[in-house]
Chains A and B, each alone.
Chain A
Amino acid sequence: MTNRRDFIRISAYGAGALAMSGGFFQAVKAFSSPEKAVALSVDLTRTATYCEVCFWKCAGWVYKNEEGKIWKIVGNDEDQHCNGRFCPRGTGGIGNYYDEDRLKTPLIRVEDRGKQVFREASWDEAFNYIASRMNTIKEKYGAESIALFTHGSGSSYYTTLMKAFGSGNIAEPSYAQCRGPRDDAFLWTFGEEVYSPEITDIRDTRCLVLIGSHIGENMHNGQIQEMSDAIDKGATIITVDPRYSTAAGKSKYWLPIKPSTDIALLLSWIHELIYNEYYDIKYVEKYCLGFEKLKEHVKDYTPEWAYGITTLAPDLIRKTAREMADAAPAVIVHPGRHVTWYGDDTQRTRAIAILNALLGSWGRRGGFYRPAKATVPGYPAPEFTEPARLWGDLFPGLYGVATGVVSNALIDASIPENNPAYPVKGWIVNGTNLINSIPNQPNTLKAIQNLDLLVAIDTMPVEITGWADVVLPECTYLERYDALRASPHRKPALALRMPATEPLYNSKPGYWIARELAGKLGLDSYFPFTKQEELLDWQLKQIGSSLDEMKKTGVKTFEREADDLYFAPEENVVFPTDSGKIELYSAAFEGLGFDPLPRYVPHEEPPEGFYRLIYGRAPMHTFGRTANNPNLTDLMDENTVWINPKVAKIWGLVNDQYIWLQNQDGVISEFPIRVRITERIRWDAVYMVHGFGHAQKQMQRCYGRGASDTQLMTKVLVDPLMGGTGMRGNFVTFVIENTEKEASS
């Protein structure tokens, strides 16, 4: 066989015939006239934006071609989040706008919930419908019985609306499905979370330790850029991952850990640091509390002990501990971001926090810097009345450590059998596809069937909109204003998002939607400005800028008030914890009935013939939200299941074969998934990229392409500390011939 193209599996991620289908080209033609590029004129009007394809929120510029159509998006050079460079998803963001499968007009359900029979409605009709149902629920059960699930830029408007309405039940999947455990672990240790963008000083680090953080596939822009800088500067990278991730490929040390055993490794590292006196003695003495208890606690956690659990050679554990110590304090044991893995995630990230404390990296160059944030005043509006009941009252005694609202608790409270203290009867869902973002789909669907109202605000016809009573089409981020971005960073900064073009179809900006709905509910006073740009201009003028200025610069960066990016030598830092110190030993946890120091507790192992299902990101996609994006499906239009060659041999699997996955509870993936036989995965696990296997037919490019990991997550390892939904306790086996699915298809 002479053909490279035959053995380089083009279609590995390649778009197949689908990408070529007719209607699709129509949409694409709009921005595919090649001569145009050549005749590029230098000054094309550009408009400021910040990206909404993921939550890193890079600021950039939208360029249009001579016909006034959106042509490309590039990063804003002045922006600390992106330094003028977008990631593939941000660059491909134009596809979100051009996607011809977008939601086009409000819809109201006309048949049973889930049957997906809707009629088109006017905005007014849709708002009336929602307002009347909301009022009914409020009368019958109280305002708190309406919950908001939200993710992304629109969140602030709906949050205002909900609070004005009287409910504080506002949850984001970025807490209990994502970074909640890590933020809580750091909060309870250092008194401060690690924020987004993370305050990791990667660009100046000498040693970066990644515990499952797959930077490079996880394309959070600033981190990947800084990791690259660190590689250039010769920093040591240590990657702990059962899979040979891209980051592992860039690492001096790759620790191919047995999944679910990270706490054992972390404890043995702590043991090594302490018993070899590698740790930052001065830092620990000055800033930390509970060192002696920690020392006693890890006494027996030797690398040999960890070896038996993690399968990592003791020598490798020793060497890497030494590397960290040598680099300290310019070392980062990365806290991770999506950390809801095994239900002991707060404790695992606590171990990471402790490790960083021992290395003295918190507050140090090359470790963790002190963030600074620009603040913009809010326009005076009436005070919210404190809701009588909060989410924590739903199931008293649960999740004592949680500092955010646990989405899954709100979902559980929508199921009467769970006996919540009060019922949740209405959901407003904005910018989150709960069906695929929350594990245990049957549970979510059961909750939905018990609702009196489900409103979905989205840009795409996704799974959750299929279950909604009312679907509201938001326009994409390229067609609207949004609140100023004021994320913390090295320097305080603001970024503007403004529309590059009028909204397509009958879609509307989030601010407008929230405000109109507020009007129907008699809550206008919370939205004093008719247009968002008036509000933005007012806000900017309060801080000596203006909307016009921001339109020109896109980003406004301020100097820090003090030169305190890192702790000064000998600085008397008072940490915002109870004790004012870094709490290695958490008395607070102890008080709440949890382990004050992390402990390794073995997890269930896959039964014979099953493999642990682990998952992650592909650099060119963000979850499911880009799965139908024409530019990005062109790069990757389905996920594959990574299988070790040894396992493939046992099962007689060959590359590119389509199979189904079946989990420990007998759930079979709705769609088949393509086999990728690769040495890059352990033999006790299989890997796939999250965000595929969409069951929503209206998304024509991604419907049925690949498999959904969420569907196979019927077992959820809930973190008892804060309610995080551990998703890596599921095991799958292979179904090679699926008579049932084939017969029905």
Chain B
Amino acid sequence: MRYAMAVDTRKCVGCSDCVVACQTENNVPIGYCRDWVVEVMDGTYPQLEIEIRSERCNHCENAPCVRCCPTGASHFAAGGIVLVKPVECIGCGACIASCPYDARYPHPKGYVDKCTFCFHRIKNGLKPACAAVCPTKCIYFGDLDDPNSEVSAVLKMRKSKTLIPEAGTMPQLYFLI
């Protein structure tokens, strides 16, 4: 099993619903976020183009944050999902410094927090909260090892990219372009 997410930059409108939904679903304290939305616009009026991306932890296959964690709090869970166990985390910040995507943040309660791919939901057969709420249905989620999953299908059909692949982290958050 290899969970992955694909975000369609052609449909994403940057509404940030994924961010609020994550916040409420996962009780992310206000003033913090596990996901965020980037707009990149290029050109000169009126020759313009724009790419909109909903970003979060990439659940990297070669995750530096897991590697550098001294306690094992950061670990790979089923399907390659990168998780943090709050009761093992000492809050040293090493994983935060190690993530090229700045996907982690120190939770006010002390431990480090980040996107979990909504592990508590997918276990129960639900989609991650952000994917479930997205009004443009531009977030695809599923098992890459299952050729029939929605994410496999869409990645087969469409061109995609990952962010800073040259950092060697092997991200599992794909952007359809």
Q: Across the interface, which residues of A come within 8 angstroms of B21, CB to CB?
A: 72, 74, 86, 88, 91
Nearest-CB distance from A3 to chain B (Å)? 11
**How far is it, in angstroms, between the C-alpha of A56 and the C-alpha of B30 when the chains are bound?**
26
By beta carbon, the residue of chain A nearest B138 is A228
Q: A745 interface residue, CB < 8 Å from B?
A: no
Q: Across the interface, which residues of A come within 8 angstroms of B38, CB to CB?
A: 8
A620 CB contact (under 8 Å) in B20, B24, B44: B20
Report if A619-B24 is in contact (Cβ < 8 Å); known contacts: A74-B133, A678-B41.
no
Q: Across the interface, which residues of B come within 8 angstroms of A33, CB to CB?
A: 27
**How far is it, in angstroms, between the C-alpha of A338 and the C-alpha of B52 when the chains are bound?**
25
Report if A231-B44 is in contact (Cβ < 8 Å); known contacts: A87-B135, A91-B17, A219-B135.
no
Q: Across the interface, which residues of B come within 8 angstroms of A682, CB to CB?
A: 45
Of A39, A92, A254, chain B has the most CB atoms within 10 Å of the CB of A92
Binds B, one of A24-32, A186-194, A514-522: A24-32
Decide if A634 touches B45 in the complex (CB within 8 Å).
no
**How far is it, in angstroms, between the C-alpha of A34 and the C-alpha of B119 when the chains are bound?**
13
Q: B29 interface residue, CB < 8 Å from A?
A: yes
**How far is it, in angstroms, between the C-alpha of A589 and the C-alpha of B150 when the chains are bound?**
54
B13 CB contact (under 8 Å) in A35, A85, A224: A224
Within 8 A of B (CB), among A22-59: 24-25, 28-29, 31-40, 42
Nearest-CB distance from B114 to chain A (Å)? 11
Where chain A touches its partner, the secondary structure class is mixed
By beta carbon, the residue of chain A nearest B119 is A38
Of B23, B27, B29, B135, chain A has the most CB atoms within 10 Å of the CB of B135
Q: Across the interface, which residues of A come within 8 angstroms of B162, CB to CB?
A: none
Q: Across the interface, which residues of B come within 8 angstroms of A256, CB to CB?
A: 45-46
**How far is it, in angstroms, between the C-alpha of A72 and the C-alpha of B24 when the chains are bound?**
6
Q: B88 interface residue, CB < 8 Å from A?
A: no
**How far is it, in angstroms, between the C-alpha of A92 and the C-alpha of B33 when the chains are bound?**
14
Q: A408 interface residue, CB < 8 Å from B?
A: no
Q: A737 interface residue, CB < 8 Å from B?
A: no
Decide if B20 touches A635 in the complex (CB within 8 Å).
yes
Within 8 A of B (CB), among A1-33: 5, 8, 15, 19-20, 24-25, 28-29, 31-33
Decide if A228 touches B135 in the complex (CB within 8 Å).
yes
Decide if B16 touches A635 in the complex (CB within 8 Å).
yes
Q: Across the interface, which residues of B come within 8 angstroms of A15, CB to CB?
A: 31
Q: Across the interface, which residues of B come within 8 angstroms of A630, CB to CB?
A: 30
Decide if A228 touches B11 in the complex (CB within 8 Å).
yes
**How far is it, in angstroms, between the C-alpha of A726 and the C-alpha of B8 when the chains are bound?**
37
Decide if A216 touches B13 in the complex (CB within 8 Å).
yes
What total of chain B residues lie within 8 Å of the partner, measured CB to CB? Answer: 46
Decide if A679 touches B48 in the complex (CB within 8 Å).
yes
Report if A88-B11 is in contact (Cβ < 8 Å); known contacts: A228-B135, A254-B46, A679-B45.
no
By beta carbon, the residue of chain A nearest B121 is A40
Q: Across the interface, which residues of B come within 8 angstroms of A681, CB to CB?
A: 45
Q: B109 interface residue, CB < 8 Å from A?
A: yes
Q: Across the interface, which residues of B come within 8 angstroms of A37, CB to CB?
A: 25-27, 120
Decide if B27 touches A232 in the complex (CB within 8 Å).
no
Decide if A228 touches B24 in the complex (CB within 8 Å).
no
**How far is it, in angstroms, between the C-alpha of A103 and the C-alpha of B176 when the chains are bound?**
45
Nearest-CB distance from A185 to chain B (Å)? 28
Decide if B24 touches A631 in the complex (CB within 8 Å).
yes
Q: Across the interface, which residues of A come within 8 angstroms of B13, CB to CB?
A: 216-217, 224, 228, 246, 250, 619
Decide if A36 touches B41 in the complex (CB within 8 Å).
no
Nearest-CB distance from A68 to chain B (Å)? 15
Decide if A87 touches B50 in the complex (CB within 8 Å).
no
Q: A236 interface residue, CB < 8 Å from B?
A: no
B132 CB contact (under 8 Å) in A39, A74, A678: A74
Report if A634-B15 is in contact (Cβ < 8 Å); known contacts: A85-B132, A231-B10.
no
Decide if A679 touches B43 in the complex (CB within 8 Å).
yes
B14 CB contact (under 8 Å) in A228, A619, A632, A678: A619
Q: A730 interface residue, CB < 8 Å from B?
A: no
Q: A249 interface residue, CB < 8 Å from B?
A: yes
Nearest-CB distance from B45 to chain A (Å)? 5
By beta carbon, the residue of chain A nearest B120 is A40
By beta carbon, the residue of chain B nearest A222 is B135
Q: Across the interface, which residues of B come within 8 angstroms of A24, CB to CB?
A: 30
Decide if A71 touches B24 in the complex (CB within 8 Å).
yes
Decide if B49 touches A249 in the complex (CB within 8 Å).
yes
A35 CB contact (under 8 Å) in B17, B43, B86, B137: B86
Nearest-CB distance from A688 to chain B (Å)? 17
Q: Across the interface, which residues of A come within 8 angstroms of B6, CB to CB?
A: none
By beta carbon, the residue of chain B nearest A72 is B24
28 residue pairs A–B, Cβ–Cβ below 8 Å: A5-B102, A8-B38, A29-B29, A34-B86, A37-B26, A38-B120, A40-B120, A73-B24, A85-B133, A85-B137, A86-B135, A88-B16, A219-B15, A224-B15, A225-B136, A228-B137, A244-B48, A244-B50, A248-B48, A249-B52, A250-B13, A254-B48, A619-B17, A634-B31, A678-B41, A679-B45, A680-B48, A682-B45
A contact residues vs B (CB 8 Å cutoff) = 5, 8, 15, 19-20, 24-25, 28-29, 31-40, 42, 71-75, 84-88, 91-92, 94, 216-217, 219, 221, 224-225, 227-229, 231-232, 244, 246, 248-250, 254, 256, 619-620, 630-632, 634-635, 644, 678-683
Contacts beyond the supplied A88-B20, A244-B46: 8 A-B pairs with Cβ under 8 Å: A33-B27, A34-B109, A71-B27, A73-B24, A85-B132, A228-B13, A249-B41, A635-B20
Nearest first, the 6 closest Cβ-Cβ pairs linking A and B are A619-B15, A216-B13, A228-B136, A88-B17, A249-B50, A256-B46
